[in-house]
């Protein structure tokens, strides 16, 4: 089995997400190929580990990789925000008896997509290969990138490219796409990359990054609702985190990082907090503490060894106390 994705900021994640009890429960909201999972399960022989991923192909790779830990590891297929919001109804003991009846002690988000999706999925996440214009993390999702590119109005295309790609030439690119699709449907990554490149002024075509990079990022985010899912998922994870529990988020661009930063600032800046979706619980008094005031970034050695880590940022927060809530009642009853 070929593993193509290296977990980023692994040592930093391991140094912050330290179990406070032997049989702690860790939830990996973005399991991927299981790189972080393998490190944690190997280091902590009693740690219970639950992984989420929406892509059945990459999840199957993780299951094979983590087979030596099958007595402590299980996974669920689905989007992390949906699964976290339905935490009390997941029936985890049916997956693995040792997982039942617990709140997460450690939660990790490694946002974005993995190298597997760029190199092996064949779903057109990048323009290094000429592939079908898809970009769905969930192969069963109803709408891929081709539907957006060929179906949305020019003004909406410009909005997507500007908001999700932070592309200042979004209107120019959207106009070029609409003109091109008027001649024939755009179906491949090479076609789209060429259209975007041709819409750029000369100096942009020779920039450090490919001129289509931001447009492809924007479409991928739109297809998979990545920012909405990050917002909902992080809030839900904070709401179900056990007392003393630690939540960590790795992000790869400013839009993702801004979501984590703002939520963590909100949580750590109040003595009381009412989650947007309280997951069926009465909101109580909640206190959180930032474990790093500024995001951690890859050092020069990791950046040289793993170029994907160069834009990664890690933020970490800990839940200090819960008082007067249904979660406490549940803990007391265990």
Summarised one tens digit per residue, pLDDT across range 258-308 is 999 999 999 988 544 444 444 334 444 557 999 998 999 988 888 888 887
Q: What is d(CA 139, CA 184) in angstroms, rounded to the nearest whole number?
A: 25
Quote the tokens at residue 49. Answer: 């580990």
Rounded to an integer, the average pLDDT of 134-153 is 96
pLDDT tens string 213-264: 999 999 999 999 999 999 999 999 999 999 999 999 999 999 999 999 999 9
Burial label for 219, CB within 10 Å (0-12, 13-18, 19+), is buried
- With b for 16 or more beta-carbon neighbours within 10 A and e for fewer, the 26-61 pattern comes to bbbbbbbbbbbbbebbeebeebbbbbbbbbeebbeb
Residue 206 has pLDDT above 90, yes or no: no
Domain boundaries, the chain: 10-111+228-333, 116-224
Place of tokens 């898809």: 134
Q: Which fold has domain 10-111+228-333?
A: Rossmann fold (3.40.50)
Q: What is the CATH number of domain 116-224?
A: 1.10.150.170
C-beta of residue 192 within 8 angstroms of C-beta of residue 149: yes
pLDDT at 270: 52
Place of tokens 């219970």: 48
Place of tokens 């969930």: 138
pLDDT at 2: 64
This prediction has a pTM of: 0.88
Rounded to an integer, the average pLDDT of 111-115 is 86
pLDDT tens string 54-66: 999 999 999 999 9
**Higher pLDDT among residues 101 and 1, named by residue:** 101
């Amino acid at each position: 089995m070929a593993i193509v994705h290296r977990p980023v900021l692994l040592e930093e994640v391991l140094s912050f997400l330290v179990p406070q009890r032997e049989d702690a429960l860790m939830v990996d909201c973005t399991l991927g190929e299981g790189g972080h999972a393998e490190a944690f399960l190997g280091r902590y022989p009693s740690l219970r580990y639950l992984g989420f991923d929406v892509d059945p192909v990459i999840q199957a790779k993780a299951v094979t990789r983590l087979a030596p830990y099958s007595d402590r590891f299980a996974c669920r297929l689905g989007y992390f925000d949906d699964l976290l919001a339905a935490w009390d109804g997941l029936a985890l003991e049916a997956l693995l008896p040792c997982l039942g009846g617990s709140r997460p002690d450690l939660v990790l988000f490694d946002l974005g997509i993995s190298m597997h999706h760029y190199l092996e999925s064949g779903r057109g996440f990048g323009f290094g290969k000429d592939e079908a214009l898809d970009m769905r993390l969930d192969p069963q999702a109803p709408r891929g990138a081709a539907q957006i590119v060929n179906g949305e109005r020019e003004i909406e295309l410009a909005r997507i490219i500007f908001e999700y790609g932070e592309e200042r030439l979004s209107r120019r690119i959207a106009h070029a796409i609409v003109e091109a699709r008027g001649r024939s449907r755009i179906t491949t990554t090479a076609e789209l990359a060429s259209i975007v490149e041709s819409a750029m002024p000369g100096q942009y075509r020779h920039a450090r990054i490919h001129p289509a990079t931001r447009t492809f990022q924007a479409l991928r985010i739109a297809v998979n609702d990545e920012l909405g899912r990050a917002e909902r998922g992080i809030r839900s994870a904070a709401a179900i985190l056990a007392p003393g529990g630690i939540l960590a988020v790795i992000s790869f661009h400013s839009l993702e990082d801004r979501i984590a930063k703002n939520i963590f600032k909100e949580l750590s800046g109040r003595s009381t907090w009412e989650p947007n979706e309280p997951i069926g619980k009465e909101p109580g008094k909640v206190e959180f503490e930032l474990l790093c005031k500024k995001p951690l970034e890859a050092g020069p050695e990791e950046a040289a060894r793993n170029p994907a880590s160069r834009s990664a940022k890690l933020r970490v927060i800990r839940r200090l106390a819960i008082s007067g809530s249904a979660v406490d009642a549940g803990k007391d009853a265990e």
